[in-house]
């Protein structure tokens, strides 16, 4: 195991936070992670938000995807960087590589763009499990492959 695998967050994360600090007071496009119990996706608002500040987050937790920094945005929200998929400067959709100020590489590679297995059997098993839970039954879950 290399030192980079042990460190959390990575050195790249801290470099990106410094890039974001240079954007304070400027409009940015934030792509937020939208996770539920059964799926994970992203939300593109499509409108720029002004980055007002970056503050230290006192209780980071890699298991709950809470990073050590919080963004303060002009819409009145504070958003933990662990809940952000990407921040770009001039485009919400398909920004150029040099326009990307922050990217949650682990989420994008391991969750968002990960290979999927989609079959009728998998959908049926997931549906039965969800329906059983709604009806108050506790069947043993089928062996679903990831």
Is the pLDDT at 142 greater than 60? The verdict is no
Residue 109 pLDDT class (50, 70, 90 cuts): low
Between residues 24 and 111, the one the model is more confident about: 24
Report phi then psi at 39, rounded to 5: -155, 165
pLDDT in tens, 13-51: 889 999 999 999 999 999 888 777 766 777 778 899 999
Q: In three state form, how does the secondary structure of the chain look? A: CCHHHHCCCCHHHHHHHHHHHCCCCCEEEEEEEEECCCCEEEEECCCCEEEEEEEECCCCEHHHCECCEEEEECCCCEEEHHHEEEEECCCCCCCCHHHEEEECHHHHHHHHCCCCCCCHHHHHHHHHHHHHHHCCCCCCCCCCCC
Measured CA to CA, the distance from residue 122 to residue 108 in angstroms comes to 23
The predicted structure's pLDDT at residue 30: 92
pTM of the complete model = 0.67
């Amino acid at each position: 195991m290399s030192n980079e695998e042990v460190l959390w967050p990575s050195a790249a994360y801290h470099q990106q936070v410094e890039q974001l600090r240079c954007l304070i007071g400027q409009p940015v496009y934030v792509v937020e992670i939208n996770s539920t119990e059964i799926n994970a996706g992203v939300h593109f608002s499509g409108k720029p938000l002004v980055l007002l500040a970056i503050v230290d987050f006192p209780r980071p937790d890699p298991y709950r995807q809470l990073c050590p920094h919080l963004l303060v945005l002009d819409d009145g929200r504070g958003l933990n960087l662990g809940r952000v998929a990407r921040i770009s400067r001039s485009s919400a959709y398909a920004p150029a590589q040099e326009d990307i100020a922050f990217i949650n590489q682990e989420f994008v590679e391991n969750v968002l763009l990960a290979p999927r297995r989609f079959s009728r059997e998998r959908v049926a098993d997931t549906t039965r499990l969800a329906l059983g839970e709604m009806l108050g039954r506790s069947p043993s879950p089928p062996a679903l492959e990831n």
